[in-house]
Amino acid sequence: MAYSEKVLEHYENPRNVGSFDKEEHGVGTGMVGAPACGDVMKLQIKVGKDGVIEDARFKTYGCGSAIASSSLVTEWVKGKTLDEAMAIKNTQIAEELALPPVKIHCSILAEDAIKAAIADYKSKSGVKGQEEETAEATVCAPRPTTA
Amino acid sequence: MNLPIYLDYAATTPVDPRVAEKMIPYLTEHFGNPASRSHAFGWAAEEAVENARREVAALFNCDAKEIVWTSGATESINLALKGVAHFYQGKGKHLITVRTEHKATLDTMRELERQGFEVTYLDVDGEGMIDLEALKAALRPDTILVSIMYVNNEIGVIQDIPTIGEWCRERGIVFHVDGVQAVGKLPIDLAELKIDLMSISSHKIYGPKGIGALFVRRKPRIRLEAQMHGGGHERGMRSGTLPTHQIVGIGEAFRLARLEMATEVPRLTRLRDRLLKGLREIEEVYINGTLERRVCNSLNMSFNFVEGESLMMAVRDIAVSSGSACTSASLEPSYVLRALGRSDELAHSSIRFSVGRFTTEEEIDYTVTLVKQKVHKLRELSPLWEMYCDKVDFNQVRWAAH
């Protein structure tokens, strides 16, 4: 399959690879996906006192598009408030990276990773967050894209 | 050394230049229809076709009259399975195959199920081998056909075809073998083996694409119902004007395979083993399929905690296949590796390397270095590798679905 220039660029030079200490104050960790489905993304955010995301890190097991999607969102969330970061949609990620239809699930996963990291940060810092959806069984079907 | 390096000979092979050279005059000069009986153009084409038939038969020690030309192995398999099922359905409607067969067999079996046949799909063990006792137990009085591949296309394991052939013959059950990956790599003596039908392809052994054959045994005589109707070519079993240049190509490819097998098989084995030795030095790698009974040119390995497609992307300088189906919409990994009981993670992390006639030692060494380097890089990116290094018990992790 042919990859877009942007996917290749992120894949060759992934931004913000690594990990923060999960227990560190201000760090939120989101891990989404499942090894059985061929994608696992771990996204971490470091939130400052002003509620702005100061820094982000990721590690991804998955195809080139999954790696590129998570690399891209680490760049995008930096400098954003939590609400602004929550507003990032998979369609924006897919568009930026020119993902083909079969790779849309990679962008969905990246959006989910942001939401999971923010939810983790909120629950740790005592902010009441939204109810997290948890699926019971591992079903490797991409869920429909949000419009 | 030229990049990219081709290590996907199990998918297809280049046409050997010696083969291409033989084919060309049959496109331009000797263009006659082999079925034209009334002039020299037809006679020349017919002679070339029959000569090629003898070359194919010579590789398997069978009679040239037992070779039926088809468009390739998929058609051969369709003709064999449907042709036998339709002809012998008065005798019984039970068919047997294996879960790790090629899609050409599995999908044809599915179609026969829709037509009212009953199919038993045998399991394989963790090494990819059929349990022979389970196969024996599955043979019934109404079983009319057993279809098994000699060499598996994904993992390269060799099934015990001689034994299965004996059992089928004793019971009067037709035995079809998908021989595609075995041609030119294993000695196949059809005078000895109790194989009734064998599907073969040209493009896996340095011949052109679009041509294959079905061996149809004459003693004891195996009957088929034709699936392609028309001018009654190929003794009524497969109508359609014969593509003379393609047939000349398969004939020459099989002639070269016969002449060069004795030196080529040990050379391919050495190259494959060199690759295996190098890649085994990487931590957390798993070989898919037994090493004990394996074709000389292929190796299928899983690189744990690295996703196959991203690894293929990282090693773009080498052309290989992945058991990861990340490119398909289903997100399901290889059904062959799953049949071996491999976890989905390991199935997603698998790569098939297959060496061939034009592979060099230098290419193998380059491949080993590149794969080692890229697996290391991708593991640095992998949250699963991090968890493994932190000794996290993966069975205790509850993964969110997506």
**Which band of pLDDT confidence, cut at 50, 70 and 90, is reported for residue B376?**
very high
What is the per-residue pLDDT for B134?
Answer: 97
Active site residue B326: yes
Q: How far, CA to CA in Å, does B96 sit from each of B77, B146, B274? A: 14, 5, 37
CB contact under 8 A, A11 and B310: yes
pLDDT at A145 over 80: no
**Which residues of A are known catalytic residues?**
37, 106
What is the per-residue pLDDT for B344?
Answer: 82
- Residue B402 and residue A105 in contact, taking contact as beta carbons nearer than 8 Å: yes
Q: Which residue of A has its CA nearest to B322?
A: A63
Question: Per-residue pLDDT tens for A55-101?
Answer: 999 999 999 999 999 999 999 999 999 999 999 999 999 999 999 99
> Mean pLDDT throughout B251-273?
98
Residues 318-347 of B with CB under 8 A from A: 324, 326-333, 343-345
- Residue B10 and residue B298 in contact, taking contact as beta carbons nearer than 8 Å: yes
d(CA B253, CA B19): 6
CB contact under 8 A, A35 and B382: no
Q: Which residues of A touch B305 (CB under 8 A)?
A: 61
CB contact under 8 A, B331 and A109: no
Q: Which residues of A touch B328 (CB under 8 A)?
A: 102
What is the per-residue pLDDT for A133?
Answer: 47
Of A11, A17, A142, the CB nearest to B402: A142
What is the per-residue pLDDT for A1?
Answer: 57
**Which band of pLDDT confidence, cut at 50, 70 and 90, is reported for residue B397?**
confident
pTM of the model: 0.89
Question: Per-residue pLDDT tens for B154-198?
Answer: 999 999 999 999 999 999 999 999 999 999 999 999 999 999 999
Q: Which residue of B has its CA nearest to A7?
A: B313
The two three-digit tokens of residue A26, written as one number? 């201000």
CA dihedral A50, A52, A54, A59 (to 10 degrees): 140
pLDDT at B323 over 80: no
DSSP codes joined into one string, A14-77: -SSBS---TTSTTEEEEEEEEGGGTEEEEEEEEE-TTSBEEEEEEEEES-HHHHHHHHHHHHHH
DSSP codes joined into one string, B186-229: S---TTTS--SEEEEESTTTTS-SS-EEEEE-TTTTPP---SS-
Q: Which of B284, B381, B387 to mutate to test the interface with A (most CBs of A within 10 A)?
A: B381
